[in-house]
Amino acid sequence: MSDACAAAVLGGGSFGTVIGNIIAGNGHRVSLWLRNPERAGEINHKHENSEYLPGYTLDNNLAATCILAEAVADVEIVFVAVPSKSFRDVVRDLAALLPEQTIVISLTKGIEPGGFRLMSDILREELPRNPRGVLSGPNLAREIAAGQVAGSVIASETAAINTLIHDLLHSDSFLVYSSADMFGVELGGALKNVYAILAGIGAALEFGENTVGMLLTRSLAEMSRFAVHLGANPMTFLGLSGVGDLFVTCSSPLSRNYQVGVALGKGQPLDDILGEMDQVAEGINTLGLLKTEADRRGIHMPLVNGLYAILYEQRPVVDVFDDMMHTEEQQDVEFVTH
């Protein structure tokens, strides 16, 4: 563990709370910024965030506040864990508060509409002087809260930042690995959410394991093909933040994106599903942005096109899956075998 330092986590949902608590458990002072004063009071007095992680005891080193300036005062590192649609607003408010040496790390797995911007792009635009990075991996918050071992990848602009974040977060049950491919790590975390929705539909349709295996392989090929086209390192997609996160999110009922897929596969309308959810499922927004970007660049994405047709063109799920499974797969196969 590194010398004790001070960090802030912005966003008091499930993932922000878990990451804040891991850092606090490693002996560092953590301020968790959230909007709901009642929840902040509960965290500070009962050491629990019962709305998102009931029964998970929070460390004494973790203190919640609803005042952003208070949360980030005198901290060396800020983690941002709000949904992608709020990311720019939150980060913009930081500009007047952070000295330029404060490191900012995104935990968010999404894409901003209008220009296909990743969260690290938003950090570069809003906080151009601050060093930045992303943390991504197969990290279901509830499993981490239950003490199950998990691994994650820190990717940033320098090896020194990676080492610092590793030392801050690494523990016996949360293993942190380093990557220099910030773009690929971040893109993997955002893209896999779309394929988790498809996997959930497959689960609702009671696909056999062979079919699931094929769907996962084709998902990996498709998301890697897209990412490599945009400049990511293909090897990143064979690691924890690529296939690792894809596998977890496409197979766990704890994944919100997978849950959306299961409900869709059972015939529930999308608006009803989203209306009933009190947590973010980033894959829905990512789907439309991914399709637009892939179409613009002429990238072959049959699974994305199929899911889009189910959600927005009212095509029957069974027909779409039938088409998807039997379309020309040469490009997918080529990627996997070369």
Coil/strand/helix, residue 323: helix
- Residue of minimal CB distance from ligand NAI? 13
Total residues at interface with ligand NAI (CB under 6 A): 26
**Could you say whether residue 138 binds ligand 13P (CB under 6 A)?**
yes
Least spacing, CB of residue 152 vs ligand 13P, in Å: 9
From the list 85, 192, 266, 291, the catalytic residue is: 192
Q: Contact region for ligand 13P (CB under 6 A) — 44-52, 63-71, 136-144, 172-180?
A: 136-144
**Cβ closer to ligand 13P: 31 or 241?**
241
Total residues at interface with ligand 13P (CB under 6 A): 13
**Cβ closer to ligand 13P: 120 or 139?**
139
Q: Quick one: what does residue 248 bind among ligand 13P, ligand NAI, none, with the CB cut-off 5 to 8 Å set by partner type?
A: ligand 13P
Q: Which of residues 267-296 bind ligand NAI (CB under 6 A)?
A: 279-280, 282
What is the rounded distance in angstroms from the CA atom of residue 177 to the CA atom of residue 169? Answer: 10
**Could you say whether residue 84 binds ligand 13P (CB under 6 A)?**
no
What is the rounded distance in angstroms from the CA atom of residue 15 to the CA atom of residue 29? Answer: 18
Least spacing, CB of residue 82 vs ligand 13P, in Å: 13
Q: Which of residues 143-172 bind ligand 13P (CB under 6 A)?
A: none
For residue 161, which of 189, 135, 198, 197 has the smallest C-alpha distance?
Answer: 135
Give me the count of residues in the chain. 338
For residue 236, which of 160, 308, 177, 163 has the smallest C-alpha distance?
Answer: 177
What is the rounded distance in angstroms from the CA atom of residue 176 to the CA atom of residue 137? Answer: 9
For residue 281, which of 296, 300, 264 has the smallest C-alpha distance?
Answer: 264
What is the rounded distance in angstroms from the CA atom of residue 253 to the CA atom of residue 24? Answer: 28
- Asked if 320 contacts 309 with a C-beta cutoff of 8 angstroms, the reply is yes
User: Cα-flanking dihedrals φ and ψ of residue 50, to 5°?
Assistant: -70, -20
Is 192 tagged catalytic? yes
- Asked if 195 contacts 303 with a C-beta cutoff of 8 angstroms, the reply is yes
**Cβ closer to ligand NAI: 86 or 217?**
86
326 contact partners, CB below 8 Å, separation of at least 6? none
Residue type (1 letter), 154: I
DSSP type of residue 242? I
Which residue in 39, 109, 132, 300 binds ligand 13P (CB under 6 A)?
Answer: 109
**Could you say whether residue 257 binds ligand 13P (CB under 6 A)?**
yes
**Could you say whether residue 52 binds ligand NAI (CB under 6 A)?**
yes
- Asked if 158 contacts 130 with a C-beta cutoff of 8 angstroms, the reply is no
Q: Contact region for ligand 13P (CB under 6 A) — 27-35, 69-77, 93-101, 241-249?
A: 241-249
Binding residue numbers for NAD(+):
11-16, 141, 256
Binning the chain into helix, strand and coil, the percentages to the nearest 5 are: 55, 15, 35
Q: Contact region for ligand NAI (CB under 6 A) — 53-61, 85-93, 301-309, 326-334?
A: 85-93
Contact residues for ligand NAI, defined by CB under 6 A: 11-16, 34-35, 52, 81-84, 86, 89-90, 107-110, 139-141, 279-280, 282
Which residues form the interface with ligand 13P (CB under 6 A)?
109, 138-140, 193, 196, 245, 248-249, 255-257, 282
